[in-house]
């Protein structure tokens, strides 16, 4: 199999390359293209090791640097959105791992679908913003869409336990993040260093903050709605602190089927790469005797407003999830630069949402424009 990895220098991208190494000799995967935004050193090291035909540095200011570094190889170097789209559509590529963070992943992922590539999807923001257009394109171009987000991979795997018509609801698990159980007062002075410490997962900065605000779970509800063609009200969030059950589905006979494994993104990445097969993994087994107990709780949507806001935007549909997503990206970036406090992330998202009128029919160009307008007109 030949793959392109959009976002190879990130948390998902680097783990995907480890999966490629793990599978060597069991299922050989050639990496045709890799991309990064600004980490030229890492992209160069990956290019030398995996020998793709194309390496793309999205930040145009870094293009010359990467080009010089790879001058002694026959690897083509490109840049900008054009370069990302080239990486997403290479002739010999079978599958694109969409693991750029944020809205920036949308256009290249859509181009990959239009070029007939199967998609392993980590970038949830694409489904949140362009869900209907995205899933229509997947059907039209007859490509496979395999979830990489751990919860969605778990749901996808659990759904094999029954027929779609027999599904009652989805139980989407949430770790609760580093601030589970805290009150609004206790969250006031939170510093980014505290918010960046996730109890179970090591991830990129943006999704780590989203996990702390529970926006991540809100985005995942919308992601699940589009991936599995269900109503938002048929998705229930369950806080499960241990992150062992990655999500569950309940069928009409009230049987619940779940997928369990130790928290490692390499599991869902590998499953997306090998589906429908399961291949050996070097991961450790779950030891139930060591774990002793698994716990469950309700999420606190009063304190963690972002979850409620995402549900609201998701129910409204149309362009509102795009507004929510863009506002959240702006707010998280501002929080990471110490410009706003932790609780202000939700306050800002709520205020931006209130400034937009919904529009139910839209094109990709429309949401690109809306995303741009949120970033320009509501700068922090
Ligand atoms: P990350 O920040 O570690 O990596 C992001 C990648 O995108 C990097 O390669 C970076 O260079 C690239 N990138 C960033 N901005 C870009 C831009 N403007 N143009 C082009 N490339 C750009 O993020 P991550 O944690 O790997 O997450 C990637 C995606 O996967 C996100 O959508 C996230 O929600 C999703 N996801 C991540 C995890 C996880 O465990 N990390 C789990 C589930 C889902
Ligand atoms: Mg997840």
Q: Enumerate residues 6+ apart whose C-beta is below 8 A from 279.
A: 23, 26, 27, 270
The 3-class secondary structure across the chain, one letter per residue, is CEEEEECCCCHHHHHHHHHHHHCCCCCCCEEEEEEECCCHHHHHHHHHHHCCCEEEECCHHHHHHHHHHCCCCCCEEEEHHHHHHHHHCCCCCCEEEECCCCHHHHHHHHHHHHCCCEEEECCHHHHHHHHHHHHHHHHHCCCCEEECCHHHHHHHHHHHHCCHHHEEEEEEEECCCCCCCCCHHHHCCCCHHHHCCCCCCCCCHHHHHHHHHCHHHHHHHHHHHHHHCCCHHHEEEEECCCCCEEEEEEECCCCEEEEECCCCCHHHHHHHHHCCCCCCCCCCCCCHHHHCCCCCECCCCCCCHHHHHHHHHHHHCCCHHHHHHHHHHHHHHHHHCCCCCHHHHHHHHHHHHHCCCCCCCCCHHHHHHHHHHHHHHCCC
Task: Find out whether the beta carbon of 36 lies less than 6 Å from any atom of ligand 1.
Answer: yes
Choose which residue among 10, 55, 175 to substitute to test ligand 1 binding: the one with the highest number of ligand atoms within 8 A of its C-beta: 10
- Write down the pLDDT at residue 200: 87
Are 218 and 306 a contacting pair, CB within 8 Å?
yes
Residue owning the nearest CA to atom 2 of ligand 1: 204
Task: Using alpha carbons, select from 28, 62, 235 the residue that is nearest to residue 151.
Answer: 235
Contact 364, 106 (CB under 8 A): yes
Nearest Cα residue to atom 16 of ligand 1 = 37
Q: Is 220 in the pocket of ligand 1 (CB under 6 A)?
A: no
151 lines ligand 1 (CB under 6 A): no
Q: Which pLDDT value is given to residue 198?
A: 87
Structure tokens at 130: 């362009």
Query: How far apart are the C-alpha atoms of 26 and 17, rounded to whole Å?
Result: 15
Query: Rounded distance, CA 52 to CA 74, Å?
Result: 9
| Tens digit of pLDDT at every position of the chain (380 positions) | 999 999 999 999 999 999 999 999 999 999 999 999 999 999 999 999 999 999 999 999 999 999 999 999 999 999 999 999 999 999 999 999 999 999 999 999 999 999 999 999 999 999 999 999 999 999 999 999 999 999 999 999 999 999 999 999 999 999 999 999 999 999 998 999 999 998 888 899 999 999 999 999 999 999 999 999 999 999 999 999 999 999 999 999 999 999 999 999 999 999 999 999 999 999 999 999 999 999 999 999 999 999 999 999 999 999 999 999 999 999 999 999 999 999 999 999 999 999 999 999 999 999 999 999 999 999 99
Whether 7 is in the pocket of ligand 1, judged by its Cβ within 6 Å, is yes
Among protein residues, the one whose CA lies closest to atom 22 of ligand 1? 37
Nearest residue by C-alpha to atom 9 in ligand 1: 7
Q: How far apart are CA 154 and CA 247, in angstroms?
A: 5
Identify the residue whose C-alpha is closest to ligand 1 atom 41.
Answer: 203
* pLDDT reported for residue 153: 98
- Which atom of ligand 1 has the smallest separation from the CA of 203? 41
The reply to whether ligand 1 has any atom less than 6 angstroms from the CB of 43 is no
Neighbours of ion ligand 2 (CB under 5 A): 149-151
Q: Is 153 in the pocket of ligand 1 (CB under 6 A)?
A: no
| pLDDT score at 192 | 95
Mutate to test the pocket of ligand 1, among 45, 122, 199 (most ligand atoms within 8 A of CB): 122
């Amino acid at each position: 199999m030949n793959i392109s990895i959009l976002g190879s220098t990130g948390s998902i991208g680097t783990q995907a390359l480890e999966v490629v190494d793990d599978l060597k000799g069991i299922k050989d995967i050639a990496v045709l293209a890799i991309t990064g935004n600004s980490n030229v050193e890492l992209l160069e090291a990956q290019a030398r090791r995996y020998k793709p035909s194309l390496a793309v540095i999205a930040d145009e200011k870094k293009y010359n640097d990467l080009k010089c570094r790879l001058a002694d190889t026959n690897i083509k170097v490109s840049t900008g959105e054009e370069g990302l789209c080239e990486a997403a559509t290479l002739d010999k590529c079978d599958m694109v791992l969409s693991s750029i963070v944020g809205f920036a992943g949308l256009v290249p992922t859509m181009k990959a679908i239009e070029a007939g590539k199967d998609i392993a999807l980590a970038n949830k923001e694409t489904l949140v913003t362009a869900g209907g257009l995205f899933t229509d394109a997947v059907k039209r171009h007859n490509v496979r869409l395999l979830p990489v987000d751990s919860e969605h991979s778990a749901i996808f795997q659990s759904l094999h336990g029954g027929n779609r018509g027999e599904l009652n609801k989805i139980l989407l698990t949430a770790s609760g993040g580093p601030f589970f159980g805290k009150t609004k007062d206790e969250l006031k002075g939170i510093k980014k260093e505290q918010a960046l410490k996730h109890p179970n997962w090591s991830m990129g900065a943006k999704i780590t903050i989203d996990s702390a605000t529970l926006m991540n779970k809100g985005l995942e509800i919308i992601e699940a709605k589009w991936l599995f063609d269900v109503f938002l009200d048929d998705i229930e969030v369950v806080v499960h602190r241990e992150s062992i059950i990655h999500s569950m589905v309940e069928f009409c006979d009230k049987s619940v089927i779940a997928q369990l494994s130790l928290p490692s993104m390499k599991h869902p990445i590998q499953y997306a790469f090998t589906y429908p097969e399961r291949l050996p993994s070097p991961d450790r087994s779950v030891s139930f005797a060591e774990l002793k107990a698994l716990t469950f709780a309700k999420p606190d949507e009063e304190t963690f407003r972002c979850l409620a806001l995402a549900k609201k935007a998701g129910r409204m549909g149309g362009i509102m999830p795009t507004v929510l997503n863009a506002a959240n990206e702006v707010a998280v970036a501002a929080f990471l630069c110490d410009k706003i406090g932790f609780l202000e992330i939700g306050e800002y998202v709520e205020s931006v949402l209130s400034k937009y009128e919904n529009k139910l029919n839209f094109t990709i160009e429309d949401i690109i424009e809306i995303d741009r307008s949120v970033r320009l007109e509501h700068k922090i």
